[in-house]
Structure 1
Amino acid sequence: MHFRRLTADVYTGLLLLLAGCWVPWAHATTLLSASPNQASYSLAPYSELWHATDQSIMLENFLSHPPDFKHAHHEEDLNFGYTRHDVWLRTQVRNDSPKTQRWMVQFEYPFLDYVTLYTLRQQGIEAQRSGSAVPVEQRALAHRQAVFSLELAAHERVTLYTHVAASGSKMLNYKLITPEAFYTQNDRHNFWLATYFGMLLAMGLYNLLLFFGLKERVFLHYSLFVGGFAVAILTFNGIGTLMFWSFLGDNTARLVALGFTFASTMATLFSQSFLNTKTYCPRWHNVLSIFRSYCWLTVIATLLLPIPSALHLMDVTGCMAALLLLLCGSYCSLQRVPSARLFVFAWSLFLLGTGVFALRNLSLLPANFITLHGLQIGSALEMLLLSFALASRFNKLKRQKERTQSTMLAALQKQENLLERKVAARTKALEHLANHDVLTSLLNRHGLMRSAEGALQRNRQHGHRLALLMLDLDRFKPINDNYGHEAGDFVLQKIAKRIVHLARTTDHCARFGGDEFIIIMENIGTGDTLAPILARIDQAICSPIDLPGGEQVSVNVSIGVSTCHGADEATLESLLSEADSDMYAVKSSQAAAYYRYGSARS
């Protein structure tokens, strides 16, 4: 019995001893002994935290009535997501060196509105302010992140109180880092950020120039998407407030929400243009149009709602856009829409980064390098891939334009050739109309003059004989009087056809007047006689003609002849005058013969 009681007392003493040793050790872990041999320390394992329900509480309240701080064991314990309460952090740092050491206290997350660092020393309290909503000239250090300088004397021990107020997600991972390591890290980060934002700027301007050159809206939509995204990410990374718009103050967070919601709107519009959903996927086009209208409403809402609500709406809209556009792209890929597969691959990387960004802000994912920089990584990969897709689209549009220009040029050449043929045909028709009689299609006076000029020139060159026959119809006027002018025109057409039929291919036939006709015959041999030709002409013209009404009529003809040789200086006027005199002589002789024949019969 005594043995059991002794054993219990021993166990109780051991437990009390362990408890007594544990408590000092547990409190000791909140003290960081900083050695200059190590470049940086994460302050999360050495920090205590407290959520302030009253935002007006001051450090003096802590010193007089210390609140119940909770120990943070891991970096994840300092990722609070969206919370309305301000957060206070407390940690103790001791210089583990016999020399004065200078350190930097750096918060990794740049999107923190107000960060105030209080350093409690034996000599008093030192306060430093920074944050994305603090003007640059009022910050402890002009940097895109909240960074503070901390100088510790030999073996000095200080207590750090940090007050953080932010409308957005509160990721409070911070560390103690030597100035040398800080500036080396800063140079490396600035290089990659400069490369990243240079790529954003180049892509935005390049696509904007393509829009002005090609008038294709898909390039404008992508340029606007890059512009809205660039403004938001510049502000989110602290570069925008550091270099351009630190005067915004509390509205810095609102600009982030506005930029990302506008980028979601333009991303939807770009997807519709790039995938041509109106043609290939009409239903998805309607869905995206409705979602785009919702995005425009969110853009307006981010200007009117309180900043925390606007940031929540930004994250929800980003997640919805990520899911919706990925589903639309996948469907278009299954439907074999041009460039849809590359779009899905590129866009999924960006949407994955957007989703990680939103889920981390909502405290659903832990804070680490991937979740902190996932948006930049995903967008960089997406823009590189989409640049290839847009370059392919540009080359395709260029080839289409070249084919269109070739087609248009061929069409213009075809039209030009057709026009030339029409002009030539019209010219030929006008020329024919100018040189030929409308009724009989024989040469008119103008055509006769041109033909006679050429015939006389050839006659002089070759020394041939030329004859001009003047035919004057007799008894033609009674036909017009008895049967009408239409019948007279019909008779003239018939006689013209008979004259053409009798003439040689080298002869020139013309209608010289109302019922007068001219025939110019070239190359008449000296041994030839015109009598058989005149007889055939007289016989053909005097043959009866059947009118369309059934009547039969006939006319006579008086033929006058004039000839010339190559050596003669004959002209058309002289030949016409001579033929006219001969024709009237023939007409007089025919009239005399007709008179004698009539007298004999009586």
Structure 2
Amino acid sequence: MASRRGVGLLLAAALLVLAAPIQASHASSQGTWQWIGPHGNGLVLIDASGQQTTHEIWQRFERGEGSAAQPDRIMPTGGPASMWYQLSLPAVIVPTSRVLAVPHPGMNRVELYRPSEESNWHAEYSGDSIAVARWPLHYLHPAFEFVQQPGEIRPTYLRVQHSHPINVRWTLWSMRDFQESSKRWHLLLGAYLGLVGLVILLCVVNAYTWRDSIHSYYAAYVAVIAVGQMSLTGLAGEYFWPRNPWWNDAASNVLPMAGAALGHLFMRELVVERGAPWASRLMLAMAAVGSVLGLCFVFIGRDPVFAFSGPYYIASFIVYLGVAHWYAWRIPRVGLWILAGIVAVLAGSVFPILRNMQLVPLSFWTQYGAQIGAAVEIPLLLIALYLRSRERRDNQVRVGALSRVDPLTGAANHRVMLARLEHLLHHQQRDPEAGVVLRVRIGNIQEIRAEYGLQVAQTALVHAGACVTHVVREGDTVARHRDGDFVVILEGHFTRDQVAEIGQRLIARGLAPSDILPPGTVLQLKVAVAATPFQAQGVALLLQTLEAAVSELAARPGKALRFVV
């Protein structure tokens, strides 16, 4: 029950995480910021060499070479090429603090050129090629703070370089609105990290409690995916590695790739016990490919390898869905939750992948769809893992019980019987008067089988076990010998009369009519008793002595109880 409540809390936390970006987006639509560019407030031109100076760019704009900036247009960045934007800022009547931001974490280099009294232009630099600690504003993505003066005539220039084609948007804020937006987004991302931390802690506890390694795989997967998402949103660069520009640029490719590889290992751990070697091998192969691509990002660089990442992610999606669908078909109670989680994260991740493949423009969903999908996936997979581990534990309990219990009668099996007898004989070395052993046989079992068949004979054995169990006390041992007899081990001290009464009650219960047996059929139980102190030394001799006694009783129809001297 506690685990279910924990999963419920995680689901509620995920819903709060999902609500935060919606609220932030709604607040944005109410005028806390504005887009610049779509309506003639910005011009753009391309510097194919990437070497032109600000003065040369200014001359080109003066000659009318610039075209209207379109935020949804994919710009041909990549290689040395750079995009220059000439921005016409809204006029102000008093000096106004502004923040101009390029809301694209991972942009290689962004430069802002503002009019300056001392020189032609005042330049500030940001982007992944520069340590976040050296950015003008330490933020999730490139942002520049400046004071706009009344009557500004000269334009502001924005220069953008990136490793592959991308669409470029910029936003203009008042300082107050920017700070409020920053608080909202940091709260959102902090809530996401808190959810991830709680999930990892829960997975570690579950791995230990359930003795199920799949929770460890899921914890590693969630941790890597979360840090990768923080890298993609810019939070990791701001707080985790603000002085390492190389890793800040590489992490946004390496960590998602490592997360995808761990996802395949997690799925393999899920299906490996289901007798599907093809699925296991496929997952291992996909994990190996992802690991190789991740290492290539580290040692070769982004540009030569980036083109392979999109196809790999799409292939991973297909494999995830295929294996999850197969698993849901085999084990729907668990598999449907797995399938729902996979669908959620894939639905969210497809937007940034399509953007990286230049198929869709930059938008809220291309920037944060993966985080939203992961926030939905986490509680769904936790529920699935809880159900799987509980089912696995129940199976282990059943298997363990089969190793101790006779499957037909429910009595302890022969191995348990031997262990209990060894314990009793060892205890009698300290207390010779403690314990009694009875051996019980159905004297007419062969007649019942001959007249009614094997099924009724087995029913008679079950009824005999019930008779014995109802007579003995809780804590005493009722076991079935491998030859079919029942062996009863009574703990404590008994007089001869007390043991005789127990035997007689047992015989009488067998002679009582039973609804599970054919009409008129009763059990003729034969009971041999070995009371302390035992004359036979050792378990084997004790059982042989009782077996000889109960066999003699079975051969004498008029006698049903005998004490072994």
Per the normalisation by structure 1, the TM-score is 0.59
**1:48 aligns to what SS in structure 2?**
strand
- Pair 1:92–1:164, CA change in 2 (3 A): closer
Q: Which residue number corresponds to residue 156 of structure 2?
A: 160
User: Does residue 1:256 correspond to 2:252, yes or no?
Assistant: yes
Match of 2:34 among 25, 36, 41: 41
Alignment of 1:436-585 (within 5 A): none
Alpha-carbon separation, structure 2, partners of 1:213 and 1:329: 25
Alignment of 1:51-450 (within 5 A): 51-63=46-58, 69-77=65-73, 79-80=74-75, 83-121=78-116, 124-167=120-163, 170-274=166-270, 276-277=271-272, 279-336=274-331, 339-400=334-395, 403=398, 415=415, 417-421=417-421
**1:51 aligns to what SS in structure 2?**
strand
- Pair 1:427–1:405, CA change in 2 (3 A): closer
Residue segments in structure 2 that go unaligned for 5+ positions in a row: 1-29, 433-565
- Pair 1:420–1:406, CA change in 2 (3 A): closer
Which stretch has the larger CA shift, 244-253 or 185-194?
Answer: 244-253
Amino acid aligned to 2:92 = S
- Pair 1:84–1:338, CA change in 2 (3 A): farther
Deviation for aligned residue 1:380: 0.8
Alpha-carbon separation, structure 2, partners of 1:111 and 1:423: 70
Amino acid aligned to 2:217 = H
Deviation for aligned residue 1:347: 0.4
1:555-594 residue CA offsets vs partner (Å, 9 max, x unmatched) = xxxxxxxxxxxxxxxxxxxxxxxxxxxxxxxxxxxxxxxx
Deviation for aligned residue 1:250: 3.1
Which stretch has the larger CA shift, 418-427 or 44-53?
Answer: 418-427
Residue segments in structure 1 that go unaligned for 5+ positions in a row: 1-36, 432-602
- Pair 1:310–1:218, CA change in 2 (3 A): same
Amino acid aligned to 2:144 = F
Amino acid aligned to 1:241 = G
Is the 1:104–1:177 contact (alpha carbons within 8 Å) kept by the matching residues of 2? Answer: yes
Q: Rg larger in 1 or in 2?
A: 1
Percent sequence identity over aligned pairs: 14
Is the 1:281–1:332 contact (alpha carbons within 8 Å) kept by the matching residues of 2? Answer: no
Deviation for aligned residue 1:230: 1.9
Deviation for aligned residue 1:70: 4.1
**1:173 aligns to what SS in structure 2?**
coil
- Pair 1:346–1:233, CA change in 2 (3 A): same
Amino acid aligned to 1:40 = W
Pairwise CA RMSD: 3.1
Amino acid aligned to 1:216 = D
Is the 1:95–1:154 contact (alpha carbons within 8 Å) kept by the matching residues of 2? Answer: no
- Pair 1:284–1:126, CA change in 2 (3 A): same
Amino acid aligned to 2:100 = V
Is the 2:325–2:335 contact (alpha carbons within 8 Å) kept by the matching residues of 1? Answer: yes
Is the 2:166–2:358 contact (alpha carbons within 8 Å) kept by the matching residues of 1? Answer: no
Deviation for aligned residue 1:378: 0.8
- Pair 1:196–1:38, CA change in 2 (3 A): closer
Is the 1:132–1:145 contact (alpha carbons within 8 Å) kept by the matching residues of 2? Answer: no
**1:167 aligns to what SS in structure 2?**
coil
- Pair 1:119–1:135, CA change in 2 (3 A): same
Deviation for aligned residue 1:368: 1.6
Deviation for aligned residue 1:337: 5.4
Deviation for aligned residue 1:183: 1.3
Aligned residues: 391
Is the 2:43–2:66 contact (alpha carbons within 8 Å) kept by the matching residues of 1? Answer: yes
- Pair 1:341–1:86, CA change in 2 (3 A): same
Amino acid aligned to 1:341 = L
Alpha-carbon separation, structure 2, partners of 1:409 and 1:169: 67
Is the 2:86–2:155 contact (alpha carbons within 8 Å) kept by the matching residues of 1? Answer: yes
Alpha-carbon separation, structure 2, partners of 1:340 and 1:106: 44
Deviation for aligned residue 1:94: 4.4
- Pair 1:136–1:205, CA change in 2 (3 A): same
Deviation for aligned residue 1:236: 1.5
Amino acid aligned to 1:363 = Q
Amino acid aligned to 2:123 = A
Bigger RCO (CA 8 Å, 6+ sep): 2
- Pair 1:322–1:68, CA change in 2 (3 A): farther
Alpha-carbon separation, structure 2, partners of 1:331 and 1:247: 46
Deviation for aligned residue 1:309: 2.6
Deviation for aligned residue 1:165: 2.2
Q: Which residue number corresponds to residue 472 of structure 2?
A: none
1:23-56 residue CA offsets vs partner (Å, 9 max, x unmatched) = xxxxxxxxxxxxxx96432122222222322133
**1:60 aligns to what SS in structure 2?**
helix
Q: Which residue number corresponds to residue 486 of structure 1?
A: none
**2:155 aligns to what SS in structure 1?**
strand
**1:317 aligns to what SS in structure 2?**
helix
Is the 2:321–2:342 contact (alpha carbons within 8 Å) kept by the matching residues of 1? Answer: yes
- Pair 1:255–1:281, CA change in 2 (3 A): same
Is the 1:218–1:270 contact (alpha carbons within 8 Å) kept by the matching residues of 2? Answer: yes
1:441-479 residue CA offsets vs partner (Å, 9 max, x unmatched) = xxxxxxxxxxxxxxxxxxxxxxxxxxxxxxxxxxxxxxx
**1:200 aligns to what SS in structure 2?**
helix
1:220-274 residue CA offsets vs partner (Å, 9 max, x unmatched) = 2212211221222122211111112123213322222211111111101111222
Alpha-carbon separation, structure 2, partners of 1:70 and 1:165: 17
Alpha-carbon separation, structure 2, partners of 1:60 and 1:327: 57
Alpha-carbon separation, structure 1, partners of 2:355 and 2:347: 12
- Pair 1:417–1:278, CA change in 2 (3 A): closer
Is the 1:260–1:318 contact (alpha carbons within 8 Å) kept by the matching residues of 2? Answer: no
- Pair 1:151–1:354, CA change in 2 (3 A): same
